[in-house]
Structure 1
Amino acid sequence: MSGRAASESWKERSVWLRVFIYVFATHLFAGFVMLLFFVGDHAQK
């Protein structure tokens, strides 16, 4: 592989890694918010 092709391959891989991390973090945050609503709803009863 030439240097340019390896660089492009690394950039593409890093984009997919970043997308995976962002999606995972977003779902984790959404789950935490849902947990807060669940706990808050059951604390008032």
Structure 2
Amino acid sequence: MINFEEEIKKFQPSLDVDQAEEAIYNNNLTDVTDIIGEILKDIKK
């Protein structure tokens, strides 16, 4: 039978997941709110 408490103690997240998370959070992506903000600025001009 699997001892879940022991398995949880041994668990270490994959480095690939950590690297992907860092790349996603550090990437400055344009989203819908940025686009709408730019459109509103252009309309006000």
Same fold (TM > 0.5): no
> Which band: TM-score by shorter chain?
0.3 to 0.5
Higher helix share: 1
User: Max radius of gyration: which structure?
Assistant: 2
